[in-house]
Amino acid sequence: MLNLKSKKMLQNPPQKGERHNNAVSFALDGFRNGLCYDAIFSQIKHTCKFSNQEDNEIHGILKWAQTKCDSNYQKPSTQSTPSVPTKSPEKAASDFLRGFECSSKDVRKKSPLKIPESLLEQATLFLESLYHEDDNVNVLLEPQKIDGIIKPIGGGITQKRDKLISTIKRDYSSHSGNGAFFRFNPVKQIGTGKNGSYTDMDVLDFRYCLIESDKLPLRAQISLLAKLPLPICAITYSGGKSYHALVKISAKSSNEYDQVVREIYEELIPFGFDQANKNSSRFSRLPGFCRGDKNQKLIYLNPNPSQENIIK
């Protein structure tokens, strides 16, 4: 993860006379932590407020920092707006993991809370562990299937945690098997979006963010999640092509949430993590439900995570 000085730069953009030294420090820290050239360029330009005419100054800093860090990343094109990492997500993950590999069973064994075999018990434990009894939790228990694709559309239902658990238990046997979704941050009782849906303005507690990369094979995904130095509190197998991980943020405001999540996602760019998952009111897969012939399974649960790797 980025050092304290780099994090302070993201939170408090430097004044013009301090920009160069801060950019140098951030570039060195970024390359040492595996950020790609494009991500570092973008962050420096945005945070330090360099103009398009000053792009060459940033390129000069990055070229010097690359040499210092013996980086394998290449200089991008002369365009002022960076685009994509120079390595494929699989190659970036392989370089980061350095031969390490694990399975979902290995991660499950490391879960501080024992994961039950029963899917219904998984859903119950998940909600009880990550939410307070007075939290409003929004779920979509019967998502629509449109043109053969299951889509989370509409407002779903929003209930206090314990009432929601009772609702799930009551209706569980009649579930359609199309999976289930939930908004991972507590929300207002009524959403202000289309058809009663929820927007970021409706979030009451900026507690978690979602990270997911379906551009990597499943085994590479779970291995990466086990090694990322992030406060991961839950990992769920989606029943499809990816694992959904919740990272504990506990931000005090929307602005703080956006800032912290942006920093996390910048570091995950090389691995192909879905950049569309940054917003606080987003849906994720709720563990404990059938999705066709597969299950949305809870793999790991830690209500009080630290920055340490799940598997050391």
The whole-angstrom separation of Cα 237 and Cα 22 is: 40
Is the separation of the CB atoms in 246 and 205 below 8 Å? no
pLDDT in tens, the chain (312 residues): 545 545 555 555 555 556 777 788 888 887 777 677 777 877 787 777 777 767 777 888 887 877 777 544 444 444 444 445 568 999 999 999 999 999 999 999 999 999 999 999 999 999 999 999 999 999 999 888 777 788 787 789 999 999 999 999 999 998 888 999 999 999 999 999 888 889 999 999 999 999 999 899 999 999 999 999 999 999 999 999 999 999 999 999 999 999 999 999 999 999 999 999 999 999 999 999 999 999 999 999 999 999 899 998
Handedness of CA 290, 296, 297, 298 (dihedral sign): negative
Encoded tokens for 72: 């394998």
Amino acid symbol at 193: G
Residue among 283, 73, 29 at smallest CA distance from 158: 283
The pLDDT, as a whole number, for residue 70 is 53
Cβ neighbourhood burial of 9 (10 Å; 0-12, 13-18, 19+):
buried
Q: Which residues share a beta bridge with 244? A: 236
SS (H, E, C) 152-169: CCCCCEEEEHHHHHHHHH
Cα–Cα distance between 134 and 259 in angstroms, integer? 27
Set out the domains of the chain in order of their start, with CATH numbers. 4-86 (no CATH), 104-301 (3.30.70.1790)
Q: What's the rounded Cα separation, in Å, for the pair 224 and 73? A: 20
| pTM of the model as a whole | 0.74
Residue given tokens 């390359």 in the structure block: 31
pLDDT given at position 87: 82
